[in-house]
Each structure stands twice: as structure tokens, then as C-alpha cells.
Amino acid sequence: MSQADPLLEVRNLRVEFPTRRRTLVAVDDVSFAIAPGEVLGVVGESGAGKSLTGMAIIGLLDPPGRIAAGEVRLEGQRIDNLPREALRRIRGRRIGAIFQDPLTSLNPLYTIGEQLAETVLTHLPVSAAEARDRSLSLLAEVGIPSPEQRIGHYPHQFSGGMRQRVVIALAIAAEPKLIVADEPTTALDVSIQAQIITLLKRLARNHGTAVMLITHDMGVIAETADRVAVMYAGRLAEIGPVRHIIHEPKHPYTAGLMSSIPRVGHQRDQRDRLAQIEGAMPRLTAIPPGCAFNPRCPRRFARCAEARPELLAAGETRAACWLYSDGG
């Protein structure tokens, strides 16, 4: 793999949930890539398909969910069609995962040190003593004070922010090439959020780790991501560099998300209201034809309800919007 090659490639990913009445499509024809050392932010409202995309990449879709089409490639190797055991070995060694609630990732019956050492021993050719030394260095790297004392503590003896740091230590224990972080700062207060953001950025910069950061918090995206993928109803609405997505959004949905964010220092009359996107995300059983956003879109026209747009060039980004077609 050359220097310019992406570390992760997702091609035309489709995730389905078969039911007795019909098959529901939760992620529909999603494609993107992440380069080594890059942070890709994935944003959108609840139900947009962000977390399902991440779960599909790391092979943790809950049945009956399944990848029905497309490919996931890590360093050029296709991994979505691997046997469960082969994918389990990749997960942890080459792919690390960070979830919203650290208690779901930590075993309450084992000390932090035991869990870290087990992860290191499972994936790296080291001795027990070397695994303990690496566990101590990992705790220090993620900012756990007095790691020599804390390594013998149990998860309940850590605060929420410290538990999330331990989860990050577990995720990077085997020096993975890719980290999928699903809402890693949502349950934390603002000061701890900033520390976790700094830590993720440092991992990408110092270790060349590719990071897929899934969140609904545009503030976190603005501080962390290099590029942003905006999802709506299981599809990509827009993708591009973070500064252009935030300051020059092209898709009407992205523009709506940006305009709904309070501006620090902006003087508003008390009667002013934040802009909002009318309506709600469609249910999987009721995704409209054409552009899925068209019932809520202030700029829709006839073609929007008739045909689904692909990602089209829109300045510095690509947007799935007919406004940027030749006849838009």
C-alpha cells in the first residue's frame, strides 16, 4: 500500500434488517475513505445510520442486521466477508473501538490492569511482564494519574471521564491502524470532552491512526475532524473538508444543521429563535422516493421527489443534491 492509499475504504455499503413483512434498508449505498492519520467525522440526527455504519465496519452488527452489499477494505484487504473468528482477530489488533458508555466496554469483575494486559497479550507477542509495562505506559499516555496505583483498581473506582480514558487505552493497546469512536464524549462534561478530543487528535497525529468519529455534536467535529461526512436517512448527504462543511455547507440539510447551532458571542434579540429544520427524520418503513430529505427541504423542486441524487461536485465538497446537477 502506497503513502497515498486510504487506510479504510467503504464502497457502496448497504445494511439491511429483514423483517416478516419487508426488508428495511438502514444504510444505503454509502462510500467513503479515511487516510492514515486522518479524522473523519460522521454526523447527522439520531437514526441517520451513523452508528450502524460503524458497527458494520467493525463486524458488530446485531442480528438480524446484515451487510447486504458493498465492501469494507482495511489497508487494501477486504474484511466484511471474513469468517467471524478472523474478523475478531482483526478487531482489537488492527481496529480499535470506543463506545459512548465505557461501562459496556469494561468488565466490572476484573481490574483495569488485568483487562489491559489481557488485550496486549492477546494481540501482541509479549511476555506477561512486558504486557504490564505496556499497560502502565498506556494509562500514562491517556492521562490517568498515578498509573502504578490505578492499574489495580476496578472500573467502578474511576469517574466517567477516567473510564473513557481507560477504554481509549484498551482501544489503542495493540496499536491499531483504525479507531472507530462512536459518541465517545457524549456522556462527559465539557472539560473532559476537550481532553478526550485532544487525546484522539494526538493519536492520529503521533501514531498515524485513522479515526472514524461518530457524533451528533458539531462542536466536537469542528475541534477534531479533518473531513466530515453528513448522513441522512442511511445515506450520505454531503462530504468534504471540515472548514467548508461548517462555513460553506452546500446540501440544504447540512445548511440546516449548521444554522441550528448557537453562535458564541452573537448578539441576539430575546425574541429571536434558533433556526430549525421542520419535520423529522423518516422512519425506515417510510423513506420517501427521490431525495430522502425532500419533504423537509426548503429548496426542493419537482425532480427531488422523483429521483435520488448521487454525490455531486459542489464547490469544495460533494453533495447529494440536484441543485448541483447540470439542470439544477
Tell me the pLDDT tens digit for each residue of 8-17: 999 999 999 9
β-strand pairing of 317-319 with 312-314: antiparallel
Region 120-133 average pLDDT: 94
pLDDT in the model for residue 4: 58
The DSSP secondary-structure symbol of 323 reads: G
Confidence category of residue 1, pLDDT binned at 50, 70, 90 = very low
Region 139-167 average pLDDT: 93
Distance, in Å, from the CA atom of 65 to the CA atom of 12, rounded to the nearest integer, reads 16
Distance, in Å, from the CA atom of 234 to the CA atom of 239, rounded to the nearest integer, reads 14
Region 200-213 average pLDDT: 90
Mean pLDDT is lowest, of 93-97, 99-103, 187-191, 251-255, for 187-191
Residue 216 has φ and ψ, to the nearest 5°, of -105, 0
Residue scoring higher pLDDT (277 or 32): 32
The amino acid at residue 239 is I
Region 19-25 average pLDDT: 93
Q: Is the pLDDT of residue 2 over 80?
A: no
Residue scoring higher pLDDT (185 or 19): 19
Over the stretch 297-319, which tens digit does the pLDDT of each residue have? 999 999 999 999 999 999 999 99
Distance, in Å, from the CA atom of 17 to the CA atom of 55, rounded to the nearest integer, reads 14
Region 213-237 average pLDDT: 93
Over the stretch 250-287, which tens digit does the pLDDT of each residue have? 999 999 998 877 665 555 555 556 677 888 999 999 99
Distance, in Å, from the CA atom of 201 to the CA atom of 160, rounded to the nearest integer, reads 20
The alpha-carbon radius of gyration of the chain (Å, integer) is 21
Residue 161 near residue 184, CB atoms below 8 Å: no
Q: Is the pLDDT of residue 3 over 60?
A: no
pLDDT in the model for residue 269: 55
pLDDT above 70 covers what percent of the chain?
Answer: 94
End-to-end CA distance of the chain: 39
Region 129-146 average pLDDT: 94
Strand extents, DSSP E, 125-244: 178-182, 210-214, 227-232, 235-241
Residue scoring higher pLDDT (294 or 262): 294
Mean pLDDT of the chain: 91
Q: How many C-alpha atoms does 188 have within 13 Å on its Cβ side?
A: 24
Ranges of each domain in the chain:
95-173
Give 88-94 contacts, CB < 8 A, sequence gap 24+.
88/59, 89/123, 91/58, 91/59, 91/60, 92/119, 92/122, 92/123, 92/173, 92/174, 92/176, 93/123, 93/174, 93/176, 94/174, 94/176, 94/177, 94/178
Confidence category of residue 143, pLDDT binned at 50, 70, 90 = confident
Distance, in Å, from the CA atom of 180 to the CA atom of 248, rounded to the nearest integer, reads 27
**DSSP string covering 114-152, please?**
HHHHHHHHHHS---HHHHHHHHHHHHHHTT-SSHHHHTT
Q: Is the pLDDT of residue 61 over 80?
A: yes
Distance, in Å, from the CA atom of 153 to the CA atom of 134, rounded to the nearest integer, reads 17
